[in-house]
């Protein structure tokens, strides 16, 4: 049946009796596809019936459906004609793991950061109203987790201010324990609340007996009192939003009925759906940690995940627990990412010193500032891509006060599979402008533990530690020191005379890119280009010893897993300019563009961040410089 669904109109043509079969086929495909490569399985298993109902009631794309955070839009993709390509989900050249405007006209917003859908919906609905397109309704599907973000409540406040703004907000609530409201009286009250005649009567009563406020308040209080017994989430109506629910989100017909009422109201309405994450797949339902929120590849029959091996997050997690034992002033903060950032081990060891603030990175940083003002040393663990959201708080709430807060950025640099919005390619650029901030980038696990310890020892300002996604890099020991930097490779002496050759290239490898620089250095030496490789360890501020070292070389090349603009490469060039060192600097990093999803290794190869690519480009740069210098020598 799913194979015959080429778009929402096909979903509308199905009979009520056929819908359970469609839902079953969708769940089977979701499990089969995610078992191969991984993906956001649990959230999508929980919204199957909800999504079917949305597409039977509304007319996408005329009625835009905006998903928050977007990782639960797999079912939406299947119902909008993308089932045939679903087996390549998140693979290079295949479907994105989030809504994608390049894939379908039904994906209005490429939304993959939480708590933003309501703001998009607010703007879309206002635009349609101003353009006279009054037959269009905007649908925003948002999870209860995303409602922990302050931006969502800012949007709700604005949506509620315009009473005839046709926005239907579907709250996908898989975190509540109370049961959905059932029975005839509850259904009748829900119908009343989205009935324009009912609203007109209330306004008429208010106008006519407005000079007797006690009577109006009593009538209004009775309405609210009855509703409070039936539907516990009155806060939405207190904001001025009509509320329908709670509804069983797995009862497709009940969802359809609620959505049709909401659509007919032609104003802002909340439809509160209770769902079960992982619904229909026992291993997900029984998974205590997160109901298979985003598993890697797993065995379809048992649900057992395939071994991932040791990753960077494991090293951070273990070292933080050790530090917590040594220092009782150490506390940790997560923004709804306890397990993904590795803070679960710290939480188990020190349950009174961990704070999960929800999807609220801004609050996380300013709360950390308060903890630091109170005499503690907070460690805030985030994905690198989400630090962008809390830049102002890091700048003016933490750094301005010179507070000892350590921010640990997981998934820094190219992350790959999750697409453009999840590549952590901005932090080394935006952090350069923060006064007093120190930034460390470890090249391997030993350096991660070493630099984390150094970071939490800093007491006169904030520190940042960043590392990539995936398997931990092989240990790369230093062969010397240059100031506080590690020298990883020095030019090799002449085979006959043993004299050290005149160095040609100084390669500055930032964090994990040090290994790539080592690979390039071997190839450069084979071309007769003597190469020094250093790892700065701390990239902000840069060690001043870098300037005299650069002066001894003909070319400096900086390699980093970050956007090229304004990052470490530019900082190195500025350092040399300030020191009057006239040596050219080449910067190698991520181009300033939104990268399509693929494996990390494939993306690094595509953008030229491999040892072979670097050696070729540096060889060409050295040759061009030699050609330019030849006339001068003559």
Summarised one tens digit per residue, pLDDT across range 163-195 is 899 999 998 888 743 344 444 444 544 555 555
Same structural domain, 560 and 441: no
Look at residue 186 in the predicted model and tell me its pLDDT: 46
Q: What value does the mean pLDDT take over residues 471-478?
A: 92
Same structural domain, 274 and 419: no
CA distance 508 to 532: 8
Crossing angle for the helix pair 213-230 and 184-193, nearest 10 degrees?
130
Q: What value does the mean pLDDT take over residues 501-527?
A: 92
Is 204 flagged in the annotation as binding?
no
Q: Is residue 516 part of a domain?
A: yes
Work out the burial of residue 179: count CB atoms within 10 Å of its CB; fewer than 13 is exposed, 13-18 middle, 19 or more buried. Answer: exposed
**C-beta of residue 249 within 8 angstroms of C-beta of residue 185:** no
Q: What is the CATH number of the domain that holds 386?
A: 3.40.50.970
Is the pLDDT confidence value at 214 over 80? no
Is 281 flagged in the annotation as binding?
yes
Is 361 flagged in the annotation as binding?
yes
Query: How many domains does the chain divide into?
Result: 3
Is 112 flagged in the annotation as binding?
yes
Look at residue 220 in the predicted model and tell me its pLDDT: 45
Look at residue 530 in the predicted model and tell me its pLDDT: 93
First to last CA, the chain: 79
Domain edge (last residue) among 286, 304, 325: 286
Is 413 flagged in the annotation as binding?
no
Look at residue 602 in the predicted model and tell me its pLDDT: 86
Question: Which of 573 and 97 is assigned the larger pLDDT?
Answer: 573
Is the pLDDT confidence value at 199 over 90? no
Q: Is residue 78 part of a domain?
A: yes
Question: Is the bond preceding 352 in cis, omega lying within 30 degrees of 0?
Answer: no
Q: What value does the mean pLDDT take over residues 204-212?
A: 52
Same structural domain, 495 and 444: no
The least confident of 97-101, 367-371, 399-403, 565-569 is 97-101
Q: Is beta strand 531-535 parallel, antiparallel or unpaired with respect to 585-590?
A: unpaired
Same structural domain, 269 and 386: no
Look at residue 204 in the predicted model and tell me its pLDDT: 54
Q: What value does the mean pLDDT take over residues 159-166?
A: 90
Is the pLDDT confidence value at 498 over 60? no
Domain holding 361, by residue range, is 312-466
Same structural domain, 499 and 393: no
Q: Which of 56, 136, 227, 277 is catalytic?
A: 277
Q: What value does the mean pLDDT take over residues 369-383?
A: 97
Domain edge (last residue) among 466, 491, 513: 466
Residues of the chain with pLDDT > 90, as a percent, come to 56
Look at residue 484 in the predicted model and tell me its pLDDT: 93
Q: Is residue 361 part of a domain?
A: yes
Known active-site residue 277: yes
Q: Concatenated DSSP letters for 462-480?
A: -EEEE--SSBPPPP---SE
Q: What value does the mean pLDDT take over residues 361-378?
A: 96
Is the pLDDT confidence value at 215 over 80? no
Q: Name residues whose C-beta falls within 8 Å of residue 467's C-beta, 6 or more positions apart in sequence.
A: 312, 316, 409, 410, 412, 441, 442, 448, 511, 512
The least confident of 137-146, 284-293, 406-415, 448-457 is 284-293
Highest-scoring range by mean pLDDT, 108-117, 336-345, 496-505: 336-345
Look at residue 216 in the predicted model and tell me its pLDDT: 42
Is the pLDDT confidence value at 387 over 90? yes
Helical residues (DSSP H) of 7-135, grouped into ranges = 8-13, 19-37, 41-45, 48-57, 74-79, 117-130
Is the pLDDT confidence value at 413 over 70? yes
Q: Is residue 185 part of a domain?
A: yes
Global pTM value:
0.83
Look at residue 312 in the predicted model and tell me its pLDDT: 95
Domain edge (last residue) among 438, 466, 494: 466
In order of 28, 40, 272, the CA distances from 284 in angstroms are: 13, 11, 23
Same structural domain, 543 and 455: no
**C-beta of residue 141 within 8 angstroms of C-beta of residue 53:** no
**C-beta of residue 365 within 8 angstroms of C-beta of residue 405:** yes
Per the structure block, which two tokens stand in for 457? 């020892």
Is the pLDDT confidence value at 53 over 70? yes
**C-beta of residue 37 within 8 angstroms of C-beta of residue 91:** yes
Q: Which of 361, 411, 466, 554 is catalytic?
A: 361
Encode pLDDT of 614-626 as tens digits: 999 999 888 887 7
Look at residue 178 in the predicted model and tell me its pLDDT: 38
Q: Is residue 58 part of a domain?
A: yes
Look at residue 99 in the predicted model and tell me its pLDDT: 85
Is the pLDDT confidence value at 464 over 60? yes
Same structural domain, 381 and 528: no
285 CA to centre of own chain = 24
Same structural domain, 172 and 98: yes
Q: Which of 389, 438, 469, 489 is catalytic?
A: 389
Q: Is residue 291 part of a domain?
A: no
Look at residue 577 in the predicted model and tell me its pLDDT: 96
Is 146 flagged in the annotation as binding?
yes
Residue 101 confidence class, pLDDT cut points 50, 70, 90: confident
Residue 69 confidence class, pLDDT cut points 50, 70, 90: confident
CA distance 387 to 408: 10
Q: Is residue 293 part of a domain?
A: no
Question: Which of 92 and 497 is assigned the larger pLDDT?
Answer: 92
Known active-site residue 261: no
Same structural domain, 49 and 187: yes
Look at residue 206 in the predicted model and tell me its pLDDT: 54
Q: Name residues whose C-beta falls within 8 Å of residue 249's C-beta, 6 or more positions apart in sequence.
A: 46, 47, 49, 50, 172, 173, 255, 273, 274, 275
Q: For residue 85, what is the DSSP state?
A: G
Is the pLDDT confidence value at 112 over 80? no
Is 74 flagged in the annotation as binding?
no
CA distance 101 to 112: 13
Work out the burial of residue 211: count CB atoms within 10 Å of its CB; fewer than 13 is exposed, 13-18 middle, 19 or more buried. Answer: exposed
CA distance 440 to 453: 11
Beta bridge partners of 305: 298
Is the pLDDT confidence value at 50 over 90? yes
CA distance 202 to 208: 10
Q: What value does the mean pLDDT take over residues 35-43?
A: 85
Q: Is residue 303 part of a domain?
A: no
The least confident of 184-193, 471-480, 507-516 is 184-193
CA distance 222 to 225: 5
Is 144 flagged in the annotation as binding?
yes
Same structural domain, 119 and 238: yes
**C-beta of residue 461 within 8 angstroms of C-beta of residue 436:** yes
Q: What is the CATH number of the domain that holds 597?
A: 3.40.50.920
Highest-scoring range by mean pLDDT, 92-106, 186-200, 255-269: 255-269
Q: What are the backbone angles phi and psi of residue 631, rounded to the nearest 5°?
A: -60, -35
Residue 86 confidence class, pLDDT cut points 50, 70, 90: confident
The least confident of 74-78, 439-443, 510-514 is 74-78
**Where are the extended beta strands (E) located within 384-504?**
406-410, 438-440, 463-466, 480-482, 485-489
Is the pLDDT confidence value at 571 over 90? yes
Query: What rounded mean pLDDT belongs to the chain?
Result: 86
The least confident of 234-238, 416-420, 496-500 is 496-500
Look at residue 223 in the predicted model and tell me its pLDDT: 45
SS3 state of residue 8: helix
The least confident of 232-236, 246-250, 463-467, 509-513 is 232-236
Known active-site residue 110: no
Same structural domain, 459 and 488: no
Same structural domain, 462 and 487: no
């Amino acid at each position: 049946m799913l194979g015959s669904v080429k778009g929402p109109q096909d979903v509308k043509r199905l009979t009520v009796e056929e819908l359970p079969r469609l839902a079953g086929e969708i769940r089977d495909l979701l499990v089969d596809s995610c078992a191969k490569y991984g993906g956001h399985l649990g959230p999508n298993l929980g919204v199957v019936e909800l999504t079917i109902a949305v597409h039977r009631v509304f007319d996408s794309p005329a009625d835009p459906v905006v998903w928050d955070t977007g990782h639960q839009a797999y079912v939406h993709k299947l119902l909008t004609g993308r089932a045939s390509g679903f087996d390549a989900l998140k693979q290079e050249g295949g479907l994105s793991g989030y809504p994608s405007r390049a894939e379908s006209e039904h994906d209005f917003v490429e939304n993959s950061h939480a708590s933003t859908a309501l703001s998009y919906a607010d703007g879309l609905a206002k635009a349609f109203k101003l353009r006279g397109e009054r037959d269009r309704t905007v649908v925003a599907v948002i999870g209860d987790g995303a409602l922990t973000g302050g931006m969502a409540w800012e949007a709700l406040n604005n949506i509620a201010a315009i009473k005839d703004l046709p926005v239907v907000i579907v709250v996908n609530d898989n975190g509540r324990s109370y049961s959905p409201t059932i029975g005839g009286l509850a259904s009748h009250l829900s119908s009343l609340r989205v009935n324009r005649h009912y609203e007109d009567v209330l306004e008429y009563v208010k106008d006519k007996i407005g000079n007797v406020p006690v009577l109006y308040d009593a009538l209004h209080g009775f309405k609210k009192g009855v509703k409070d017994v039936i539907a516990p989430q009155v806060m939405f109506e207190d904001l001025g939003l009509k509320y329908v629910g709670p509804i069983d989100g797995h009862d497709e017909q009940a969802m359809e009925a609620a959505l049709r009422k909401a659509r007919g109201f032609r104003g802002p309405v909340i439809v509160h759906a209770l769902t079960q994450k992982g619904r229909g797949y026992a291993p997900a339902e029984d998974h205590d940690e997160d109901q298979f929120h985003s598993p890697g590849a797993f065995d379809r029959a048992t649900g057992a995940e395939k071994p991932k091996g040791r990753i960077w997050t494991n090293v951070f997690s273990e070292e933080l627990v050790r530090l917590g034992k040594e220092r009782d002033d150490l506390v940790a903060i997560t923004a709804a990412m306890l397990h993904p950032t590795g803070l679960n081990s710290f939480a188990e060891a020190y349950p009174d010193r961990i704070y999960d603030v929800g999807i609220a990175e801004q609050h996380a940083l300013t709360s950390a500032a308060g903890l630091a003002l109170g005499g503690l040393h907070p460690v805030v663990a985030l994905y690198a891509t989400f630090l962008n959201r809390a830049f102002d708080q890091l700048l003016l709430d933490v750094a301005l006060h010179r507070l000892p807060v350590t921010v640990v950025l997981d998934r820094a640099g190219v992350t790959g599979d999750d697409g453009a919005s999840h590549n952590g390619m901005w932090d080394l650029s935006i952090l350069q402008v923060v006064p007093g901030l120190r930034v460390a980038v470890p090249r391997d696990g030993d350096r991660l533990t070493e630099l984390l310890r150094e970071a939490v020892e800093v007491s006169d300002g904030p520190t940042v530690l960043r590392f990539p996604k995936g398997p931990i890099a092989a240990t790369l020991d230093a062969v010397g020191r240059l100031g506080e930097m590690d020298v990883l490779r020095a030019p090799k002496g002449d085979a006959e005379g043993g004299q050290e050759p005149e160095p040609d290239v100084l390669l500055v490898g930032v964090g994990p890119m040090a290994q790539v620089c080592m690979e390039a250095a071997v190839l450069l030496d084979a071309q007769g280009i003597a190469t020094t490789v250093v790892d700065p360890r701390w990239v902000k501020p840069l060690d001043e010893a870098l300037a005299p070292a650069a002066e001894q070389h003909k070319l400096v090349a900086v390699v980093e897993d970050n956007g090229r603009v304004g990052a470490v490469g530019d900082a190195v060039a500025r350092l040399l300019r300030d020191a009057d060192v006239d040596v050219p600097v080449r910067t190698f990093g991520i181009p300033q563009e939104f990268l399509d999803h693929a494996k990390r290794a494939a993306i690094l190869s595509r953008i030229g961040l491999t040892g072979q690519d670097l050696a070729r480009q540096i060889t060409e740069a050295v040759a061009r410089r030699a050609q330019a210098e030849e006339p001068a020598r003559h």
